Every structure is written in C-alpha cells, then in structure tokens.
Structure 1
C-alpha cells in the first residue's frame, strides 16, 4: 500500500472540492432561477397566465425558441452564453411581470424583436440573463380611413407591408427592404428604406406608441406631432468623393474580394426634418450613408479603416441600427457615462446629451441597459 504523503492527499482531494463547489454553485443558481419563475407567475394576471410563455433549458423546445430569431450565426455557437430563461410574452402583463421580477432579483433582461442584431446585444450577454422575446406580440391593425396602423413590436416589416396591401393598393409605409426585420428594433434605431428621401425614416412617421416603463406603467397618448455570419459598419459621407478616390475604393474592394459597400442616398425629406426632431441626428449635410458588410470581421474592419478619409469626422458618425461594438462597450458600472459617450456621440451626435438626461429621469437606476445603451448621468446610480 505504502504511505500517502500530505501532498498527495491534498492533490487527490482538490478535484472533489472543485466538484462539490461547482455542484453547490449550480444548485444555488437553479434555486435563484426557480425563485424568479415563481415571481413571474405571482406577478402575472390570472386572466393571462404566464406559465405557457416561460421556457427554461429543461424544456425540450428551449433551443428551438432561442435559435428561431438568432439571425446572425456568429452568436449561435456552442460557446455562446445562453440565457437561463426565455419569456415569449403573450400579453403586456407578461412584459410588466418580467420588468418587476428582473428588478427584484437584479437580473439582466435582454429584449428581442426580430433578431436582426449585428452584435447580438438582444440575445447575448457576459452575465447571467434572460430574454424577453416579443415575437408573439405581432398584431397589426390597419385603418385606411385614418391612414394609420397599430403595430406590435414583434411584427416584422414584411407582415406590416402585407397587412397594408390587404387593405389598399395605394398605401405603404417607409421602412426597410428586409421583410424579416422586427418592427420594434427597426423603428427604435430610426429605420430607413427606399422611400426615405420622400417620406423620411420610419420613426418620422410614428405618431403614437404604447410603452412599458421601468415602473411598469403603460404609457400611451403622446401628443401627435436569411442567416449568415455577419459584421457590419456604417459611415456618413458629407463631401463628394472624387473619381480617383472611388477608383481607389473599388481596387481595395477587389483586393479584399468578399466585402460589400452599400450607398444609401440622403437628401429630400431627410434634409427637411431637424436633427433634433428625433434621436436620429443624421439629416441635412449628409450626401449618403455607407454600409460596409462582410462575412469576415477582419476584412470589414480593413475596408472601414480605408474609408476614413472620405467620411464624417469629429465624430466619425455611425447608424444606430447597425450596432458596432468596435465603437465602444458599456460595462454599466461606475464609468457608464464616460463609456457610453464614446459610442453615443457617434450614433446620436448632440442628441446624446438629451437622451442621457431623459434616461436619467425615466430610468435613474439604469435598468434598461445593454452593451451600447444610453447611460445615466454620472452622479446617478448605474
């Protein structure tokens, strides 16, 4: 048999200690998640039970629900961190319950509409999180007499166009060309499409909205006034690009082989709307928006860098619907405002400060947050 040295005893016990520690951590996490589920059930309306809208990894359909609206395969790998729970809200009360319980249990909530998220911030996180998935809330009510429509956040652009076409052959809505983009995310970032020079952005044609705030109050009645591995970046061109420079850009693209450039012309109605009218600030003075796309992240970054002399400067502007974490990431800690300002001024220019003031007033504890959300003022809790 021999004598086991103290060192051997210590080493032989180490794996056991680690396994016990991991088992205890998993048990604690499961207990916390079960408590969260009970909270959701307790705060849902009896007339609209939430249980059928809750999916955990123990559900056989959990993976299919999670993957159904992951449009970017960069974030659908075996190493991608998964949510511990998905709520496929069926009623506004489910949204309210999610907010109440997430705050009560200090949990990160990600909100997903159509899943067209170039950086995955609507369904990926570095901390334990759950997804509030809006795809079931997709009703569309079109009223041709008033030329208005009520559209829920989970509807897609294609569904909106179809419902309008059912009622009229002469009406439309200025939005994007991709039919599977979710209305909620599209409009919240501005939403551009082929009719923007005549009618402006999608957000310019929104006259009212129903929202649930951090106090779970339903706010209404504002006064009327296909899958790939993707990386995208955006820029704004303010001065004409010379023929020689354009030829240089084409040569660079040929060199990189697989990169794509989209030029979206501005002007018209886009230039008539003040930059302060909505959070979207890129109005008069822009000739067109440039979108750089590629399946290979590094090639996208190379072409984006090459475009530097031809686009806006100080700041180099970007389009919020094309989220780009290369611009900066907010860790939502004590430096939240400073980190948020780095990317915030590129997306929103001078409107960033107004958005921060609004965020500080309506969400002082920074509950609604992600890697590139609007921060609160630095003297407030983050």
Structure 2
C-alpha cells in the first residue's frame, strides 16, 4: 500500500514557486541570481494598511476565533468595493474570505465539481487552476490561444471544446501568465455564450487594477448581468503588494457560499483576524498607492518588452495587464548555444538559469512548450541586468 494517496501524489508542484525557490536557494549560496519567476510586487505594503494591522493586533477582540466567512468589516468593504469598481450590487452572505486567492480557487472548484465534470480552461493558464480541478475529480479541458490571437480564446474555440460534461468555464482577465486583457465586447460575448449553455463561470479578477495603455478591466458579471451562475475570485495580494498577508475571497450565490464556508470550516476556519483588518483597510482605502505602483510597472513593462525582442528568436507581445511578459521562444529552440541545443522551453529555462543566472518560468508550467514567462514586478536595475544577461547568452 502506497504511503501517499494517489490523489495527492498526482499533483504537480507549483512551477512558479519551484523556480522562485531554486533562485532563492542559489542566491543564498552566493550566486548573483536575478529572479523573474514569482509574481510578487517588490513594493512594501502601504503604510495605512500596516497601521491597521498593528491596531488590530493590539485589540483583544481579534485574538479569538471569528466567523469562517470573514470579519464583518472586511465583508462590508468588499460589498462597497464591488459597487465602486464593477457596478455590482452584492450582499455580505455572498462573500467568503479565504486564506489567499489560492484557497478561493480551491474552494470554488471543490464546491461546484463532481468527479467527471469538465472545466474549460483557456491556456496559457496559471499553474494552480488545473491541479485544483483535478483534486475534485474534475477534468480540465485546455483551449490554447497563442500570440497570433493575443493569447485570447474565441467563442468558437470554447464551443468546440464544450461537451455534455462541461460544467464550468474558467475566465481570467487580466491574465496570468500572459497579461492579456479581454475587451468589454469580447467579455460580453463569452459571458453570453456561457449563459446560453447554462454554464458556471469561475472568474479570477485579482489583477483587475493592473491594466495599461487603453485596456480596461471588465468583470464578466458586469458585462453579462443575466449571468447568475458566476463565482468571482479576488484578493489583496497583487493590487496592494500584500502577497504574504494571505487574504482572498470568493463571491458567489448565497447557497454556494454557504457550502464553501462549510468546507472551509473543516479545513482552515477563519483567516487571520489581523490580516483581515489590514485587508479591510486596503479594500476600503484609496487606490493612490496602486496608481504609483502602476507607473513603475508600466515603465518596466515597456523596458522588458523592448529588451526581450532584441534577443534572437524571442517574440514578445506587449502585455496589457498584470505584470508578466509571455515570450514566444519557439524560434529560439533547436539552436546551438555553446554546445547545448535546447528542444523545449523547459530546457531553455534551465540553460538560462545555469549559464546566465536568471530565473524564468517555462511555458510547460502554463500549457504548451515554446514560451517563457517573466515577471516585471522587480526593480528596474535587476530587470535591465537580467534581460541583458539573457540577450548576451543567446546572441
């Protein structure tokens, strides 16, 4: 009898965290590694958010268990935030506060899926989505959209993937890993298609405030108001530079939230009260700090795209959202580099890490081989130096 269950043994580790961990281990060993792996803003959490956490830590009310569904102050702030940012009117009983966005993803799929149910997953996708689906016994069905179509799937592609087992469409805009942002019209068309086929839509909106140029975020729940079967996932990690605080949430019909809350009550219970009060201050507060971060992200975005497009065999579309560049490196494969010929993007990423001491995430983590994801949520000097090293290694 196996020591590890087949269900857990089948899970692929998080490729992004694995790359980040390897880069940090090499840095700890004294190597000057530059990490483009983790999607983590390099800015500190805003002061007013930290102050709220300090105040909460000093208040004995927050030293005790609290409702699994979340602190009333945070849930009320999320209600106001949804009206402010998306024009959506929701009730507090439609909100479950989770331990980061990942638990919201996990809870959503565990609550909605039975074994054999299919989820259409546009690719490239964030590495956690298919694993969370498989943990339920569900089946992820990849639909790939390459750079030729802006990394955005079409209704025709979705319809071709739909079967009588399809229960959920996963919709992510702005996208991790590609930075693609669906237009309001594209979003509405996909929402209308899901509605017509009575599908659930699970939409991850964690990058909603990180868009550039003329791109605008549009919630699929706003674009298709008739869509009742929708679960919205979000959190404070990316917008407010709070990755380590571990506060996310899911918004869904009240019966779904009740079921998901029951699940969470048997897994983790309430999220840290101190972190929740910090998140409440962030969500209810101004977006000034976010706008300042966006100025830096935009500058880095342009510098990274320009630099990567100078690397032979690299083709880097300009991302419109989030803080990632998703580079098409298919023309850089099967070339001789100092006696080494990579045939996959995974081999190329390993070569870049070992020879240039730059950590990037290969496309195999997000779908087909032939691509690399680089986060530009790091300092300007490190970004320039990392891109320079890649260019020199592969030129």
Query: Fold match, TM over 0.5?
Result: no
Structure with the larger RCO, 1 or 2 (CA within 8 Å, 6+ apart): 2
TM-score by length of 1: 0.25
TM-score by length of 2: 0.24
